[in-house]
Structure 1
Amino acid sequence: MSYFLRRGRLFAALAASSSALVLAACGGGEEEQQTSSGEAPAEDVGLVNEGQLTTCTHLPYKPFQFEQDGKIVGFDVDLVDLVAKELGVRQEIVDTPFEGIQSGEDLNARKCDIAAAAMTITPERAEKIAFSDPYFDANQALLVKKDSNIKTLDDLEGKTLGVQSGTTGKLYAEENAEPKGVKLKDYEDVALELSSVKSGQVDAGINDVPVLLDYAKDNPELEVTQQFETGEQYGFGMKKGTSEKLATVVNRVLSEAKQDGTYDRLYEKWFGVKPKSSS
């Protein structure tokens, strides 16, 4: 998504004041791993905490990051585990409101070393965040009940569309649905948005394609209808101006994972299919 403000949440007072929940990522025990290519020790890349790569994310955003059997797992988690392994440290995950992630505030405050939250690279965000190379292509789509007869935005005239605050999906809806007479209802959390579609509180929801497909798979009474080509690409975020060494490692790990088949294997693990292209 080169022109949308993607996946964020407006900072609500409650979210801003809530304490961050720190959870260990799946794949622990990597702290004993030696770096595979002679990379400098972890402290030389300026990690917030010695011996660990601290990751900011906002849960849940299945299948990118979510809790399962007491562990945080997902596609993003597995990719950042590769970076932690390269550095010879373990990954530690901080669950925190997305507004602080996408604004760069958490990175600037040294709450974490890297942000992995299915976050789209945008020019606005790139002014505040140092992004990695893109690691995932994503677009937007509609989620509806199968018996709703809603197939496109045009079918939502006079109805209510759920949107996630601060996201490119919301911006797309503001630009393309509101002019058609569609009422928008904001949700800070994607889980609340999607459950509202399921319960009938809203007539449809708009969000990232892979998240909606995963939710529809688990809720067969729902379906994904119209998809919107927005050209969105996710990137990992780092503190702007002081993370050049870490960004170099991240980009190298992503490149090597795509070349040696690791990226394809992880993609298929979480999305059920191989990527069209991992180059």
Structure 2
Amino acid sequence: MKKVLKIMSVLLAVAVVAVSFAACSDSTDDASNTNGGADTQAVKVIDINLSDEEYAFGVDKNQPELMEEANALIAEIKADGTLDEICNRYFGGGTPVGVTSAALDTSKDQLVVATNAEFEPFEYKSGDTFYGIDMEIAQLLADRLGKELVIQDMNFDAVVLSVQQQQCDIAMAGLTVSEERAQQVDFTESYYEASQKLIVRGDDTTFDACTDKASVDAILNGLDSSVKIGGQNGTTGQSYVQGSEDLGFAGLQAQFVGYQSGSLAVNDLINGNVDYVIIDAAPAEAIVSSINAVN
């Protein structure tokens, strides 16, 4: 009887150990399924400025009165806080104000603005309505002049040319001031300080240890021609990669791949068709935030 009891005790102990082991295994599996790793963002911005730039509006050289009024408006909205209020609607969680374009009609007194509505938060569209810092200022300028506002949406690299050719009165498209562009249009006073930033895939750690522009530049300057960097055609990002004496960029060995918009470049980054993207800082943040929200 004692032997039977002893055997039963041993079997019971083995069963308890087996159950305990099974429970531990289930717990480990559950933990593995639950904590298999934090979700990685699709893309991320390296938060280091690669340049220092100024945005201004480009006015038809044959319209000095328009230049005078545009500069007066810029000075006024800087002084009375209106510019800060507009920027806060896009950077501070405010509510953007939509702007509607009239149809172009040469028989009417109109202010014709050239833009590229692929550059959030400065200009973008939802349906037929324009939004953005530049677009709200465009409406203020038209109101000041007592004119009907017409917004001509086009590829970015056509914006300045359209004003030079007098197809439009003023370019309002997040334009970086440069000597080359100043040969085509007259620039107003600056209204915004900008910079270029680098976008990488979310799992790319190449630049994670960088603390300043010099450390980012050191890596970028070490890239060879097999590396592809995307950006929007005609923008400062293209000049940064390809080089520009005007803007003081030495250029990189990496290839530049041009797109009609920064968002197309970032989507190609996600798809693995380019290695990095360089675009203006504010649009970079807007694009990355939008893409990560749905990925």
Class of the TM-score when normalised by the shorter of the 2 chains: 0.5 to 0.7
Distance in 2 (alpha carbons) for counterparts of 1:118 and 1:29: 18
State which of 227, 238, 254 in structure 2 corresponds to 1:159.
227
Name the residue aligned to 1:178: 252
Instruction: Give the aligned length.
Output: 183
Name the residue aligned to 1:61: 119
Name the residue aligned to 2:181: 125
TM-score of the superposition, structure 1-length normalised?
0.57
RMSD: 3.2
Q: Structure 1 stretches of 5 or more lacking a match?
A: 7-24, 31-46, 223-279
Of structures 1 and 2, the larger Rg is shown by 2
Q: 2:279 aligned with 1:207, yes or no? A: yes
String of CA shifts for 1:31-61, please: whole Å, max 9, x gaps.
xxxxxxxxxxxxxxxx966332111112211
Q: 2:167 aligned with 1:111, yes or no? A: yes
Report % sequence identity: 24
Distance in 2 (alpha carbons) for counterparts of 1:101 and 1:86: 23
CA drift of 1:97 comes to: 2.6
Correspondence 1:5-84 to 2 at 5 A:
26-28=98-100, 50-84=108-142
State which of 199, 211, 217 in structure 1 corresponds to 2:289.
217
Q: 2:268 aligned with 1:191, yes or no? A: no
String of CA shifts for 1:71-102, please: whole Å, max 9, x gaps.
11111000111111111223111112333323
Name the residue aligned to 2:12: none
SS at match of 2:177: coil
Code of the residue aligned with 1:54 in structure 2: it is V
Change in 2 beyond 3 A, CA 1:145/1:29:
closer
Change in 2 beyond 3 A, CA 1:185/1:74:
same
CA drift of 1:159 comes to: 3.0
Name the residue aligned to 1:264: none
Name the residue aligned to 2:159: 101
Code of the residue aligned with 2:186 in structure 1: it is A
TM-score of the superposition, structure 2-length normalised?
0.54
Distance in 2 (alpha carbons) for counterparts of 1:107 and 1:220: 36
Code of the residue aligned with 1:216 in structure 2: it is V
Code of the residue aligned with 2:252 in structure 1: it is E
1:55·1:92 contact (CA, 8 Å) conserved in 2?
yes
Between Structure 1 and Structure 2, which shows a larger proportion of helix residues? Answer: 2
Name the residue aligned to 1:147: 203
SS at match of 2:140: helix
Distance in 1 (alpha carbons) for counterparts of 2:159 and 2:101: 26
Code of the residue aligned with 1:55 in structure 2: it is V
